[in-house]
Amino acid sequence: MTCKQLGGACETEFHTNTFEEMAELSKKHGMEMVQKGDKDHIAAMNEMKKLMTTPDSMQRWFDTMRKEFDSLPDKN
């Protein structure tokens, strides 16, 4: 899956076997880009924060992403 598919801002691809690794990688990548001052990723991160104001909405986002991940024919 790409950064964009995971709510990010670029076409960087993450190749992992599990969704948990994927979420971890994309989080790391996102934070790196924000630290570098990348405007697109900062905006994406802010959007994400708006979506994840409650544990409930965070869980929903996670479930949606997991479904998308599971539906990919080739996860690598």
Q: CA dihedral in degrees (56, 58, 59, 63; nearest 10)?
A: 140
The residue whose two tokens read 């979506």 is 51
Asked if 25 touches Zn ion (CB under 5 A), the answer is no
Sign of the Cα torsion 47, 20, 29, 69 reads negative
Interface with Zn ion includes 12 (CB under 5 A)? yes
| Options 8, 22, 23, 65; binder of Zn ion; rule CB under 5 A | 8
Per CB under 5 A, 42 contacts Zn ion: no
Q: Is 69 in the site for Zn ion (CB under 5 A)?
A: no
Q: Which residues bind Zn ion (CB under 5 A)?
A: 3, 8, 10, 12
